[in-house]
Chain A
Amino acid sequence: MYRYDEHDQRLVDERVGEFRAQTRRFLDGVLSEDQFRPLRLMNGLYVERHAPMLRIAIPYGELSAKQLRMLAHIARSYDRGYGHFTTRQNIQFNWPALEQAPQILADLAAVQMHAIQSSGNCIRNTTTDHLAGLTADEIEDPRPYCEIIRQWSTLHPEFSFLPRKFKIAVTGAARDRAASQVHDIGLHLVRNSAGEVGFEVYVGGGQGRTPVIGVVIRKFLPRADLLTYFEAILRIYNLLGRRDNIYKARIKILVRSLGIDRFRELVEAEWRKIRETALKLHPREIERMAEHFRDPPFVRGLDASATDLEMIRKPRFRAWLRQNTLVHRQPGYRAVYLSLKAPGQAPGDITAAQLDLVAGLAERYSFGEARTTHSQNLLLPHVLEADLYDLWKELGPAALDTANIGTVTDIICCPGLDFCSLANASAIPIAVEINRRFADLDSLYSLGDIQIKISGCMNACGHHHVGHIGVLGVDKKGEEWYQITLGGSATEDARLGQRLGPAFARHEVTEAIGRIVETYVSLRREGESFLETLDRAGLDAFKRGAYISLEQAS
């Protein structure tokens, strides 16, 4: 994990002082609401339906045991005993008082955490593959580059008042687990024909009202040029991006209106001017960052097949082992998912007691490290196979052992109408209903990989556009209705879902999803995934299955 040096620590401490002063000026009436808004947003502080909401940055999803305990403390002391993990690997608290926000930031700074740029029209927290550094299909560990980007983007003098928010995701593996193609910039570590490692750069992806899959702006960017190239992209966007209409202000709209070729010309022309400046990365700087992400002291020489996991016959353990653990690059270890999608639970929510428990488990089983995932679960990255059974027994009493990772009940979901002031419709209750509908685990596993993603409004925080089954809550004359899209994907084959047909009423939507899944089961051929069946059989076949009557479908 990255550890702060004295410079990093001083900067977050100074940030706390600045925000304390800004909050004081607002409470004293020196700053108006309009003036304070962008300042508080740059510290992750929203004003929501019931109370302020504080989003805390978890840079590229990495948490130490100490940090987990601090989050538990914050949940207990300033909130109502729980927090909520987001799709961008951060955590948010729904009930802090504005007056206490500076003190929360001070508490966070004591464990090398902050809320800098977790909201607002600036460069947000950089996200990555939660399996970074532990899969065999990785070209290089993306985390050192994430930290380099975090530092460069923090309090950037030129790019802190952008036309709109700006999100970056980095992946190092062939499999994209960070939804990088629906980010403003998606960065893929690649190797060129000369064997050098660099980046393939995607630009202009995004969701919201106008979902767009990112396009390649550069096939190969040498590592040393990472920051100069980012600077060029951001400079063009900051100067030319629209500021007259909030819905047309993201970089995706600029890229689309100029065309990728013209946009690339502008960026590359700018880049040529600044390529050899102080921003160029020296190999020693990359090396210094990489030092922070070296392997923990693994027990070496283990033989995966020598563990006696096969001897444990308990069906529930076997299901969990198959569904929630992954073979590690290091023989004899696994990465273990802790599901935050237990039946009846709001997806991504976690209690203070669970946070404390996970801190202890991380210390005892995973070198003190845990990670948050894009799909709103947690991961213990490095667990000895010999410890898996003991770990599993500890997860059960805390309801962290639901063996549903990657299944139809591993739902991505935004806070929706229950918390968010932008929402038009509930999202969490729908997720809970769907979870209940598919509670029978045996039939769940036979369905394979089906990703359901639910957003409570057009802003698409629940990523419905890229769900295999996407659910969008809309308001129709004061009633909650739900539009369903099918066929989206956020991985390396990223694509947008297609709308199935007319929206469903709130009481119909869970059953409609049930019928869509049944349609898949009845149509699928041996070994065919949901997306493959959909592509072969076509949307109409699913439409016929989803709507009870033909009148309803028209």
Chain B
Amino acid sequence: MTRKIANPDNPQPKQLRVDWHEWLMLNAVVTRSPPPDESYRVTVVVTTELPHDHPQLATLLDADRVVIDIETFTDGRVFGLARLLRDELGFDGDLEVSGDFLPDQISFLRRCGVNAFSGEDIVRDAFNFYSGFYQPPRAGIDEVTFIRESRDSPEST
């Protein structure tokens, strides 16, 4: 959204935090308005109820930060939504989770593209038990061995 709500003469952005419905309204308004006086850094907070096939999902590419708020830690849709935002939409801003999640889930979340965690103080590395997984890793976020691939590397016989 910085691209949309941005004033080149005013480089100090203000923080703006909106939920999904506010975001859709904001988008509708901004596209019909002249450029604002101020610049904004926009965080959009969505829930796991956000439909994976929502026609305006791609508007999130304009957000600076997307937060997926989790009501119950067993709601595994968060993993699917995170992956969708990263891999399918190509969202490259910060992707955060907030709400009810366990430190034990951080490794799973990171491997789906989440790179920020809010809430309680979390000592991330204390819950990082694995040096490799069978699934393809995510470059830049998840620096662990891809077991399937390492079996095919020249050193491994």
Using a CB–CB cutoff of 8 Å, the interface residues on chain A facing chain B are 5, 7-8, 10-11, 14-15, 17-18, 21-22, 31, 35, 38-39, 121, 151-152, 154-163, 235, 238-240, 243, 273, 277-279, 282, 284-285, 288
Whether A278 contacts B149 in the complex (CB less than 8 A), given A18-B129, A158-B112, A243-B75, comes out as: yes
A17 touches B129 (CB 8 A): yes
B132 touches A7 (CB 8 A): yes
In the complex, what's the smallest C-beta–C-beta distance from B46 to chain A, in angstroms?
Answer: 14
Chain B interface size range: 35 or more
Q: Which listed segment binds A: B2-10, B16-24, B77-85?
A: B77-85
* Nearest B residue (CB) for A152: B134
A238 touches B80 (CB 8 A): yes
A288 touches B151 (CB 8 A): yes
A sample of 30 inter-chain contacts (CB < 8 A) reads A7-B132, A7-B145, A7-B150, A11-B130, A11-B132, A18-B130, A22-B104, A38-B74, A39-B102, A121-B76, A151-B134, A152-B135, A155-B108, A157-B107, A157-B108, A157-B109, A157-B111, A157-B135, A158-B108, A161-B74, A161-B76, A162-B76, A239-B52, A239-B81, A240-B52, A243-B75, A277-B136, A279-B135, A284-B152, A285-B152
* Nearest B residue (CB) for A234: B80
Note all chain A residues with C-beta closer than 8 A to B148: 151, 285
With A and B bound together, what is the CA distance between A152 and B134 in angstroms? 6
Whether A158 contacts B80 in the complex (CB less than 8 A), given A151-B147, A151-B148, comes out as: yes
Interface residues of B in 73-107 (CB under 8 A from A): 73-77, 79-81, 83, 88, 102, 104-105, 107
A159 touches B76 (CB 8 A): yes
Chain A to chain B: the 8 pairs with minimum beta-carbon distance, closest first: A161-B76, A157-B111, A278-B136, A18-B129, A151-B134, A7-B147, A158-B79, A239-B80
Using a CB–CB cutoff of 8 Å, the interface residues on chain B facing chain A are 52, 73-77, 79-81, 83, 88, 102, 104-105, 107-109, 111-112, 129-136, 145-152
In the complex, what's the smallest C-beta–C-beta distance from A174 to chain B, in angstroms?
Answer: 31
In the complex, what's the smallest C-beta–C-beta distance from A210 to chain B, in angstroms?
Answer: 21
Q: Which of B76, B149, B150 has the most CB of A within 10 A?
A: B76
Secondary structure class of chain B's binding surface, majority of residues: mixed
With A and B bound together, what is the CA distance between A537 and B11 in angstroms? 85
Q: Which of A157, A240, A278 has the most CB of B within 10 A?
A: A157
* Nearest B residue (CB) for A157: B111
With A and B bound together, what is the CA distance between A162 and B77 in angstroms? 8
* Nearest A residue (CB) for B51: A239
With A and B bound together, what is the CA distance between A307 and B97 in angstroms? 68
With A and B bound together, what is the CA distance between A157 and B133 in angstroms? 9
A161 touches B83 (CB 8 A): no
With A and B bound together, what is the CA distance between A161 and B94 in angstroms? 23
**Apart from the given pairs A21-B129, A157-B111, 7 other A-B contacts in the complex at a CB distance below 8 Å:** A7-B147, A155-B130, A159-B76, A159-B79, A161-B76, A161-B105, A239-B77
B108 touches A235 (CB 8 A): no
In the complex, what's the smallest C-beta–C-beta distance from A534 to chain B, in angstroms?
Answer: 42
Note all chain B residues with C-beta closer than 8 A to A14: 129-131
Note all chain A residues with C-beta closer than 8 A to B109: 157
Note all chain A residues with C-beta closer than 8 A to B151: 5, 7, 285, 288
With A and B bound together, what is the CA distance between A152 and B152 in angstroms? 16
Note all chain A residues with C-beta closer than 8 A to B74: 38, 121, 161
Note all chain B residues with C-beta closer than 8 A to A156: 135
B149 touches A161 (CB 8 A): no
Note all chain B residues with C-beta closer than 8 A to A288: 151
Q: Which of A5, A8, A17, A160 meets B108, CB within 8 Å? A: A160
Q: Which of A152, A157, A273, A278 meets B88, CB within 8 Å? A: A273
Whether A163 contacts B131 in the complex (CB less than 8 A), given A35-B102, A39-B104, A278-B136, comes out as: no
With A and B bound together, what is the CA distance between A243 and B52 in angstroms? 15
Whether A157 contacts B79 in the complex (CB less than 8 A), given A10-B131, A39-B104, A273-B88, comes out as: yes
Note all chain A residues with C-beta closer than 8 A to B88: 273
With A and B bound together, what is the CA distance between A14 and B105 in angstroms? 15
Note all chain A residues with C-beta closer than 8 A to B131: 10, 14
In the complex, what's the smallest C-beta–C-beta distance from A61 to chain B, in angstroms?
Answer: 21
